[in-house]
Each structure stands twice: as structure tokens, then as C-alpha cells.
Amino acid sequence: MNFYSTQAAAEHLAGQFGETVDYWITRLANMRNPKRKVSYRLNFAATEGRLGMYAEEDLRAFTEFEKTRRIGDIKLSPRAAEALHAFGIGQPGGSTTGRKLKYAATIQPSNDSTSNPFVQLLIKDPLLVFRLDQGEFNVLVADLCELKAHLDRYITEAQQ
């Protein structure tokens, strides 16, 4: 059975996928850390007192997994696909931290069921329309104001 050191495994993966060797060294270290959430946990072994040795067949299996993941052949659960769509991952304007908010808000004079004015919130990308009565709108504004105060404090403390 052949084993690869972390450096050799990283060099192999860099050759396969194009990222830098340093990227793969970090990613392999993350896979060894049980506290890190990773999409694939590559098995590693300690041989001759050295940690981070990878069996050739395990590295080959990971390479196939990564190739499949990159070309999108893995069937995602509906909830996982929904999460990827919500963040916009793989879509223009999306990222792993979310989308930029593009919206419009208007006051509509009445609602068929209550005859009370309401706020119509239009999220432009992806297209979503929400109807907020005065109470719901007030709660949203209060929540956003509270969040703004926390963000302002966080930024102030970080700058000190």
C-alpha cells in the first residue's frame, strides 16, 4: 500500500484541480480537524510516527469525488439544493455569504381582505414579493434597527 505525505498529496491534488499547493495543504488540514465541517473527510493515517499520510486508494477516491462535485453530478437533497439557491451559489451575484439585496418597498392603499394599507416588499433577485401589514412592518423595522445598533457597536469595538 502506497502512502502520500501531506505535501505530496497536496501537489497531486494541485495538479489535478489547479488550485495552489498551499490551498490543498490547508484543505487537507481542515479535513483532518474533526471540528471543521467539510463536504468530504479524507482518511489519513499515522505511519512511522508521521501524521497526515494518505493512502493512495483514499486519495484516488477523493479525487473522483471532487471531480464529480465540480461537474455537478452529485444529486443534492431538495433542502441542500434550496440552500445553494438561497445563497446564490453558482449563480451570478451569489456567494457563500449570500446575495446582495436588491429590493423595492411601496405602500399599497388597501388589501382586499382588510381594506387597510400595507407595505409591499419586492425582492428583485430572486424575485419574491411580500405583503406586510402595519404590525409586521413595525416588527421588521424594529428588528433591523436593533441589528444596526449591534453592528455599529461591533464595528466600533473592532476598530479600537
pLDDT score recorded for residue 46: 64
Which residue do the cell numbers 512511522 mark?
Answer: 48
3-state helix, strand, coil in the chain (%, to 5): 50, 20, 35
Q: Which residues of the chain have pLDDT under 70?
A: 46-51, 71-75, 90, 111-114
CA distance 44 to 50: 10
- Measured from the Cβ of residue 153, the count of other Cβ atoms closer than 10 Å reads 10
Whole-structure pTM value: 0.48
CA distance 84 to 75: 13
